[in-house]
With several copies, the nearest count.
Chain A
Amino acid sequence: MSEPEPLSLHVPEPAVRPGGSPDFSNVKIPRAGAVPRPEVDVDPEAIRELAFSIIRVLNRNGEAVGPWAGLLSDEELIEGMRHMMTLRAFDARMLIAQRQGKTSFYMQHLGEEAISCAFRRALSPGDMNFPTYRQAGLLIAGGYSMVDMMCQVYSNSRDPLKGRQLPVMYASKEHGFFTISGNLATQYVQAVGWAMASAISKDTKIAAAWIGDGSTAESDFHAALVFASTYKAPVVLNIVNNQWAISTFQGIARGGSGTFAARGLGFGIPSLRVDGNDYLAVYAVAKWAVERARRNLGPTLIEYVTYRVGAHSTSDDPSAYRPKAESDAWPLGDPVIRLKNHLIVKGVWSEERHKQAEAEILDTVIAAQKEAESYGTLHAGGKPSARDMFDGVYAEMPPHLRRQRQQAGV
């Protein structure tokens, strides 16, 4: 054998960086309606290709087409529209509030509203989500109190979490919303355990796990897939691929595989990719996966293809690492506008009604905000007490913590 050439390290880079013009020519987007809809008890090996395509329902003309269409009534669609608009308005207000110093931190959903809002609709009462910080649509669409959410964001006197948790790390058992961890991926495997517990208990409830594209690299993602695959846990394994993990493009986490959905193939888990900016497609795929879980057919992996339009969080400025206009170039469009167009095409909505709805929703959000602020904001008004800080570490306070509380004089 001849002397080998020197090796070199391959370090993936996004197609464009600030200064360049946005380029998504590498994102292959199939026609709406093109991907078949298999039976829920299909052999996973027979649908491997679904991990490499994108299930889409809404076409360019705003029509719902293909085998995944036709599942939601006009009323339901309009309600979905309102959920997304509410989430967007909520985000906008909280971003301003953060800039005003009313809280320390905020994370928005801009461009990703369809995913959590539509998914929520596929669940039944008692089901449990293990969300990340970018699925507040599950709460909004589930009817959780916006005032409570804001009180949490403000860490004020009515904060349901007593000021202990970072803003947006909501928790509500009743609303099927597990306490969010700031640690990435840890809850993915907990969702599998929760689902296993439901199966062990011969219950009918299922779980939904949530993770971002970047976080699939974490080890707990693997643990979740291993356990879900082995015990056929009734869980929907969601991956929200919004193209970015803070400043890191999805190619770093994804590596040589074409997609994140492909990760499920090595486990014999049915793995689908869906247009995350298409409310109807998200709902259809979620319903399919939820049905599989409910019928004890085991886990499903879903990759939602979307784009993080805003900054990662209020601590981030994306113009440092990606072209400013990149989000405008995103080929899957905006979920709110796409659903709006669909409703208009269907003749059940109009620009005017949209404007009106926007104004109404803003009023509701502002009213909620006023109320929440009356209970305080992070640095002003009512707030949780130092005693709250010592409570709840254990069900019953052990002597050493009692001593410490006493020392603190509270």
Chain B
Amino acid sequence: MTMIEAIRDAMDVMMARDEKVVVFGEDVGYFGGVFRCTAGLQQKYGRTRCFDTPISESGIVGTAIGMATYGLRPCVEIQFADYMYPAYDQIVSEAARLRYRSNGEFTCPLVIRMPTGGGIFGGQTHSQSPEALFTHVAGLKTVVPSNPYDAKGLLIAAIEDPDPVIFLEPKRLYNGPFDGHHDRPIIPWSKHELGDVPSGHFTLPLGKASVVRTGSAVTVLAYGTMVYVAQAAAAESGIDAEIIDLRTLIPLDLETIVASVRKTGRCVVVHEATLTSGYGAELAALVQESCFFHLEAPITRVTGWDTPYPHAQEWDYFPGPARVGRALVEAVEA
């Protein structure tokens, strides 16, 4: 199953189980979404459970909040994460705070899905990774799956969650794991064990990281596409890295992180978003606070540069295996 199919399957399973689950967004209904994540759902569940919306991200999220407080469980799509900004007020000022400010009179079980990340020559408006803009907001959960299996289990968990969940889908992983070697073909998910996704209902807990490679030399904290880049970097640099796929950024599985860093004594954080005030800053701050006396080298960050996402210079911008590999070597040699 591709990641697209896994995401669709999660919504399909939940729409079948719970008629409160509704799915909508731009081009999401008849056509099934520009990435086809919702293909077939309107045909199967009817036009009032899965439908096209006007091009208004604040309208999509705003109405979804209203629906959630009514008692539905909307799972809406923002066509690209780069287009979530018009909805940001609704997300931050409303979805995230309804439960708190009303002392639970009103709650907001809502999932907002959006494709993130670059690597598709999408330029500044089809490549962004705005996760840090969500992790700073109390009341939101933020999830970033890295494979079809996780995507399905986490998306079902997100839909069942009683609070708003931001579900970020690294679009470069939709069809197969991408390790940053853009000049090589990707293995499709059908040939990858994590593409083997059980049918029916299952969940993965929000807040549990996964150690995707055990190692002793350095801990790498990554999520989404960077999980594969880190794996490639470890293989190519020969550094025995322990690679943790965070899977959910909030709540964060700090325990797993701390256990690993205390073991390796070194830590490299990798993400595609711009460096400054990226989620890597929070990770570095937490790790140094929690593991200070175990650290043998400064925690470094390998990230997108502090520029808008460029079109032609995509592979200069993208933190690929060479850059990550260098950081691993430096961390170990420091």
Where the two chains meet, the residues of A that have a C-beta atom closer than 8 Å to any C-beta of B are: 8-9, 11, 13, 17, 104-105, 128, 130, 155, 159-167, 169, 171-173, 178-179, 181-187, 189-201, 207, 214-215, 217-220, 222-224, 226-227, 230, 245-248, 252-253, 255, 315-316, 320-321, 378, 383-386, 388-390, 392-395, 398-401, 404-405, 408, 410
Name B56's contact: one of A190, A207, A227, A388 (CB within 8 Å).
A227
Name B123's contact: one of A9, A11, A182, A197 (CB within 8 Å).
A182
Chain B interface residue count, CB cutoff 8 Å, equals 77
Q: Is the pair B103, A171 in contact by a Cβ cutoff of 8 Å?
A: yes
Q: Bound state CA distance, A405 and B313, in angstroms?
A: 13
Q: Is the pair B72, A200 in contact by a Cβ cutoff of 8 Å?
A: yes
| Chain A residues positioned under 8 Å from B66 (CB to CB) | 130, 189-197, 207
Q: What residue of chain A has the Cβ atom nearest to residue B34's Cβ?
A: A246
Task: Tell yes or no: B231 within 8 A of A by CB.
Answer: no
| Chain A residues positioned under 8 Å from B93 (CB to CB) | 181, 183, 186
Shortest B44–chain A CB gap in Å is 15
Shortest B323–chain A CB gap in Å is 8
Q: Bound state CA distance, A173 and B102, in angstroms?
A: 10
Q: Is the interface of B mostly helix, strand, loop or mixed?
A: loop
| Chain A residues positioned under 8 Å from B202 (CB to CB) | none
| Chain B residues positioned under 8 Å from A393 (CB to CB) | 99-100, 138-139, 306-308
**With contacts A164-B312, A165-B101, A224-B59 known, what are 6 further pairs, Cβ within 8 A?**
A163-B310, A164-B101, A189-B66, A190-B63, A220-B62, A395-B163
CB within 8 Å: A-B pair count? 270
Q: Bound state CA distance, A220 and B98, in angstroms?
A: 17
Q: Is the pair B62, A400 in contact by a Cβ cutoff of 8 Å?
A: no
Shortest B30–chain A CB gap in Å is 6
Q: Is the pair A183, B94 in contact by a Cβ cutoff of 8 Å?
A: yes
Q: Bound state CA distance, A165 and B124, in angstroms?
A: 7
Task: Tell yes or no: B275 within 8 A of A by CB.
Answer: yes
Q: Bound state CA distance, A194 and B72, in angstroms?
A: 9
Name B47's contact: one of A13, A214, A253, A398 (CB within 8 Å).
A13
Query: Would you give the 0/1 interface string for B152-167, flagging 1 where the beta carbon is closer than 8 Å to chain A?
Result: 0000000000110000
Query: Would you give the 0/1 interface string for B189-222, flagging 1 where the beta carbon is closer than 8 Å to chain A?
Result: 0000000000000000001000000000000000
Shortest B309–chain A CB gap in Å is 9
Q: Bound state CA distance, A400 and B70, in angstroms?
A: 29
Q: 10 closest pairs, A vs B, by CB?
A: A193-B66, A163-B312, A182-B125, A193-B63, A217-B54, A189-B62, A179-B102, A223-B59, A247-B31, A166-B123
Q: Is the pair A197, B59 in contact by a Cβ cutoff of 8 Å?
A: no
Q: Bound state CA distance, A173 and B71, in angstroms?
A: 12
| Chain A residues positioned under 8 Å from B85 (CB to CB) | 183
Interface members, chain B 61-86 (any A CB < 8 Å)? 62-67, 69-72, 82-83, 85-86
Shortest A291–chain B CB gap in Å is 21
Q: Bound state CA distance, A397 and B26, in angstroms?
A: 34
| Chain A residues positioned under 8 Å from B106 (CB to CB) | 171, 173, 178-179
